[in-house]
Amino acid sequence: MDFRSVLTTCPYCGVGCNFIFQVMDGRIIATLPAKTGPANEGSLCIKGWNVHEFVQHKDRLTKPLLRQGGSLQETTWDQAFDYAASELNRLKETYGPESVAFAGSARCPNEDTYVFQKFARVIFGHNHVDHCARLCHAPTVAGLASAFGSGAMTNSFAELAHAKCVFVIGSNTTVSHPIAGMYLMRVRGNGGRLIVADPRKTQIAQLANLHVQQNLGTDVALINGLMHVIYKNGWHNQAFIESRTENFPALVEMIEPFTPERTEAITGVAAADILKIAEWYAKSETSAIVYVLGITQHTTGTDNVKSLANLAMLCGQVGRPSTGVNPIRGQNNVQGACDMGALPNVLPGYQYVTVPENVEKFEKAWNAKLSGTPGLTMVEQIEAVHQGKVKGLVVFGANPAVSYPDSNRVQTALEKLEFLLVMDIFPTPTTAFAHVVLPAASFAETEGTFSNSERRVQRVRQAIAPIPGKTNWETLQELCTRMGYPMAYGSAEEIFNEMASLTPAYGGMSFPRLNEKGLCWPCPTPDHPGTRYLHQDRFTRGKGLFQAIDYRPPAETPDAEYPFWLTTGQLFSQYLTGTMTRRCPTLHHENPEVFIEIHPEDADRLHIDTGEKITTSSRRGSITAKAWVTERVRPGVVFIPMHFMENAANRLTNAALDPVTKTPEYKVCAVNLGKAA
């Protein structure tokens, strides 16, 4: 009997818990929390405890598939590589290199993603490479980078528990990031105050000192209202503003009209509560802001993030322990995939493609001709398919048929493609459209690193042999080699070392240094201890930039035909499109099917009972599901969880985009509602 314990990092959310796989005779038999995990300190949520259930699920793709006679048939790796390479070369020669786009994943290790974006750039000479951060935290990257110079969580998880005040906005933390929620649940016990602003009555909202339910899509108005009160009462930090920031007068002018009364009229939050939140946040010794997708998935996503940065700078609540602006990433490696340059405007390490020196640096290192023009974002790639500009798509670890907004329109685009290559661990609604499917290795079958929300780069370790026979970077480098750019990495460590040599924030990291507790970037030199919290003496950009942000309503609001607000979100036992969690029996048992939350007042008016089938429709599509009558939502609002492919909430959602980052407005649209026919 061969028995081993393998320490590795969770592949679900951006907290980055460490756990130990118990491996017997080449199979994982259990998952145990690691006491040494810096982000989880020996705790795990239900998803972490049961993670091994999906890794060895019978549905795993084990062999390449090739579309023949209208259906996908098993084939050899050799044939799949040859066919994929010849089709991608055909599109490149027939329509030009811009005709092929790349959509990656925030779930894969850094090393896989680094090779993926390099493949796109060196073979096609463009920057049409993006990944699912576009759908969640791209506004964080853009908003915080413009204000502070760095688009990442400023502080660490453990610090949150010791803040004297935590302002949680747009985050259902105990559900979407349960171990981060654990730290927030300690705030009150440690003598701090917990404030939650969320349109729904979530669990963390019920644990707070104060919960306010702002109208959907009114966050900028709420934050401007808080800043108005803080400034008028003289609770702002003048010394910090003078020494550490610029452009303050523009902010003062912008917040002037946001009186508590006007803010109440826009947001629905009582003026007295606005006053209380402003005082608690501004006057506490240490105040931290926590947010997730309730802030970013709006047409005002980047504005929302900039507004939170304004609030933190106004009160000097940044650059110290237990303060800051803290976006918790939805997926395990959103931070890492952004760091690796799987974005259409930056090379690894946020080195802008528009800066000629950056392009030259990577051209020299990679011995290839690169582009200085930003590429297409994920949603723009789909539009380019409809316009006939993009003919081929390479999808790695993503499920656009379900996860993108307005999924009916996405599926029509996938049908139109001349060539679709998908790499994934399971069959998905997206693989159903593919011409070639390459089976991927899961996180449990590879060496590498993930970078969690607190910028901590942690080791991922191989517990079992790759189920498809190859790791993902091996697959990608083989395809790249067959397309004429030889790659010959011998290990994930070799890839990491190349990436670190080109990425200043990772410059002092190496696998031996990461082995114990990982390191938080920036870590520029081999003797640097890593950086627990950012912007201590100066912001990354020098001075922090106040940006005057006015309130804009959501792109779609209720009317006579579609009189309800719809918002979407997560369940504690599910993850994204459910590809992994719905294959874990323990998790599936908790939340087996989709439901629609509706307030009792609305349910009474429409004669709807809990458990009854109802249909909800938007201008884009319809779904039918069981009603759940609950006061978690406000009257006039319905909520649908996002995980269920057969009843995807994204048939309803609006593909209206944030103008800066092109992130869709998943959190707000207008729907109607009635008993199912």
Question: Is the separation of the CB atoms in 568 and 616 below 8 Å?
Answer: no
Q: Considering the complex, state which of residue 177 and residue 298 has its C-beta at the smaller distance from ligand SF4.
A: 177
- Whole-number minimum distance, CB 179 to ligand SF4, in Å? 4
Cis peptide preceding 64, ω within 30 of 0: no
CB of 107 to ligand SF4, least distance (A): 12
Residue 429, token pair as written in the block = 């609604």
> Got the DSSP string for 502-547?
H-GGGTT--HHHHTTT-EESP--STT----SSS-SSSBTTBSEE--
CB nearer ligand SF4, residue 43 or residue 113: 43
Residue with smaller CB distance to ligand SF4, 54 or 489: 54
Q: Is 136 or 382 the residue whose CB approaches ligand SF4 more closely?
A: 136
CA terminus-to-terminus distance, the chain: 58
**Which structure tokens are listed for 563?**
């009189």
**Measured from the CB atom, is 17 or 549 closer to ligand SF4?**
17
In the complex, minimum distance from the CB of residue 156 to ligand SF4, in angstroms, rounded to a whole number: 14
Instruction: Report the interface residues with ligand SF4, using CB under 6 A.
Output: 10, 12-13, 15-17, 40, 44-45, 47-48, 177-179
CB closer to ligand SF4 out of 175 and 440? 175
CB 41 to ligand SF4: min, Å? 11
The 3-state DSSP class for residue 95 equals helix
- Residue 90 CB-density burial (10 A; 0-12 exposed, 13-18 middle, 19+ buried): middle
**Could you give the CA distance from residue 423 to residue 439 in angstroms, rounded to a whole number?**
6
**Tell me, what amino acid is at 127?**
N
**Smallest distance from the beta carbon of 33 to ligand SF4, in angstroms?**
8
In the complex, what is the shortest distance from the CB of residue 258 to ligand SF4, in angstroms, rounded to a whole number? 36
Beta bridge partners of 66: 73, 436
CB of 513 to ligand SF4, least distance (A): 22
Which helix (H) or strand (E) segment holds residue 385: the answer is helix 378-386
Q: Which residue's CB is nearer to ligand SF4, number 107 or number 200?
A: 107
The helix (run of H) or strand (run of E) holding residue 445 is none
CB-based contact 520:532 (threshold 8 Å):
yes
The answer to whether residues 144 and 150 touch, using CB atoms and an 8 Å cutoff, is yes
In the bound complex, what is the minimum distance in angstroms from residue 174's beta carbon to ligand SF4? 10
In contact, 378 and 161? CB cutoff 8 Å = no
Name which of 452 and 654 has its Cβ closer to ligand SF4.
Answer: 452
- Round to whole Å and give the CA distance between 626 and 665: 24
CA–CA gap between residue 439 and residue 65 (Å, rounded)? 8
Of 142, 147, 99, the C-alpha closest to 120 is 99
Give the residue with the Cβ less far from ligand SF4, 10 or 378: 10
* 629 C-beta neighbours (distance < 10 Å), count: 19
Question: Taking the CA of residue 238 as centre, how many other CA atoms within 13 Å lie in the half-sphere pointing to its CB?
Answer: 5
Q: Is the link from the previous residue into 522 a cis peptide, with omega within 30 of 0? A: yes
Q: How far is the CB of 454 from ligand SF4 (least distance, A)?
A: 12
Instruction: Give the count of beta carbons closer than 10 Å to the beta carbon of residue 610.
Output: 14
Q: Cα–Cα distance between 196 and 194 in angstroms, integer? A: 7
Nearer Cβ to ligand SF4 (39/417): 39
Which is closer to ligand SF4, CB of 137 or CB of 236? 137
**Left if phi > 0, otherwise alpha if psi is -120 to 50, otherwise beta: which for 401?**
alpha
Phi, psi of 405 (to 5 degrees): -70, 160
Q: How far is the CB of 333 from ligand SF4 (least distance, A)?
A: 11
Q: Which residue lies nearer to ligand SF4 by CB, 301 or 330?
A: 330
CB of 20 to ligand SF4, least distance (A): 12
Strands (E), 414-538: 419-424, 436-439, 448-451, 456-460, 519-520
What's the distance, CA 248 to chain centroid?
A: 31
Least separation in angstroms between residue 46's CB and ligand SF4 is 7
* Residue 334: CB minimum distance to ligand SF4, A: 12
User: Based on CB atoms, which residue is closest to ligand SF4, 178 or 260?
Assistant: 178
Q: Which is nearer to ligand SF4, 46 or 275 (CB)?
A: 46
Q: How many CB atoms lie within 10 A of CB 366?
A: 17
**Amino acid identity, residue 73?**
Q
As measured in angstroms, the least distance from the Cβ of 40 to ligand SF4 is 6
**Which tokens go with 211?**
């919960």
State residue 466 phi and psi, 5-degree precision: -60, 125
Residue nearest to ligand SF4 (CB): 48
